[in-house]
Amino acid sequence: MPFKPDHALNLITRAQKLGRLAHAYLITGPREADREGFAAQVMSLVTAARHPDLDAWSQEGAIILRPQSKSRRIKVGDDADDVGTIRYLERMIHRTTGPGGYKLGVIVDAERMNDQAQNAFLKTLEEPPPRTLLLLLTTQPGQLLPTIRSRVIEIPLLPPGGARKFTEHEQKLLAVLEKLTRNQAGGSISAALGLKADFQAILEDLHGDIKEEQEDEFEKEQDHYKQTTDGTWLKQREEQVTAQIEATYLQQRDALMDLLLAWMGDIARQQVGAEHLDLPEYAAATAALAQRWDPGETTKRLRTLRQLESHLHTNVNEGLALEVGFIQAFGK
């Protein structure tokens, strides 16, 4: 369950007082959640020092890693002197001490670590020095290896009230879901297949937009480098672009599935009178479905969508998984 920042800080304060402060936290949340500001507050709380942002903390001994270069990746690094890499973090976390005797490390946009970097980071995560606090910040926790996620405590943050902004494709999905409310859909297979078709059309538009953007950037690179590099670079870069298109697509598809789950979750919350809604702007629409559907039915629909999300992380055919999932979730 996502937390308001103040509540999350209270939980960390209580854990510290009880001697149960973890050495590693995964701070997640949508784009509008101030993960970096929250990380600065966590370090202030734990060490009793006060600094407003991560740049200030880096002057106080905290090691702050951010994605590097045009590829926006966090790399393993050639050696421990390679600043901004995992090797550098591994060395500095043993050598540098911040306020209160704590060793502090923050990885911003942690999903930008490739598998090699994540595997290298596991050593520090599994065997940290005493009084170490590691904070991983990401909007896409699903992009981290299970071995990392199992060794951290996740803190999902809520954005400030009214701050959430939706992408073009998220807005399209929300419009489809509002249509579901207006058209009284959800009680037949044909309606479920129509909803699936709308969702898949959004995914196709999403993939096309990502492909066009990445290929436009690649064209500019070709114009710049074709006179100074050989064909080996071109082939490698083509493979990288293809991989980046698919990786970006999967990340944004996950975001759309999260939005669909938030919508269904709000229906369930409305049925039990919960105070917090993930999508308060759409409270009227989810309330209408909350009145129309039986709570047990809503629970089954939500469970089915979670299973669909899980299946999409396997090698299953996307179209087939969506068809089966939407029929089960909306065709009854």
Which CATH number do you get for residue 49?
3.40.50.300
How far separated are the first and last CA of the chain, in Å rounded?
28
Q: What are residue 28's DSSP bridge partners? A: 138, 156
Whether residue 240 sits in one domain with residue 172: yes
Whether residue 194 sits in one domain with residue 47: no
- Find the domain containing 193 and state its range: 168-330
In a domain, 231, yes or no: yes
Return the H-helix or E-strand segment holding 223: helix 189-225
Whether residue 238 sits in one domain with residue 108: no
Whether residue 178 sits in one domain with residue 146: no
| Domain limit, last residue, from 132, 156, 180 | 156
Q: 116 Cβ partners below 8 Å, 6+ apart?
A: 75, 76
For the chain, how many structural domains are there in total? 2
Tokens 């709380």 belong to residue: 45
Whether residue 179 sits in one domain with residue 313: yes
Whether residue 189 sits in one domain with residue 75: no
CB 157 within 8 A of CB 35: yes
In a domain, 163, yes or no: no
Residue 162 burial (10 A CB sphere; 0-12, 13-18, 19+): exposed
CA distance 20 to 68: 34
Residue 296, pLDDT score? 93
In a domain, 48, yes or no: yes
| Domain limit, last residue, from 103, 126, 156 | 156
Whether residue 227 sits in one domain with residue 142: no
Q: pLDDT (tens digit, 0 to 9) for every residue of the chain, 332 residues total?
A: 678 899 999 999 999 999 999 999 999 987 788 999 999 999 999 999 999 999 999 999 999 999 876 557 888 888 888 888 999 999 999 998 899 999 999 999 998 888 889 999 999 999 999 999 999 999 878 778 989 999 999 999 988 765 677 889 999 999 999 988 876 545 688 889 999 999 999 999 999 999 998 888 777 766 655 655 566 667 777 887 888 888 888 878 988 988 898 899 899 999 999 877 778 889 999 999 999 999 999 999 999 998 998 888 778 899 999 999 999 998 86
In 106-188, alpha helices (H): 115-126, 146-149, 168-182
Residue 295, pLDDT score? 94
In a domain, 161, yes or no: no
Whether residue 294 sits in one domain with residue 177: yes
CB 180 within 8 A of CB 155: no
| Domain limit, last residue, from 129, 156, 183 | 156
Residue 142, pLDDT score? 74
pTM: 0.61
Q: Quick one: how many helices (H) and strands (E) in the chain?
A: 12, 5
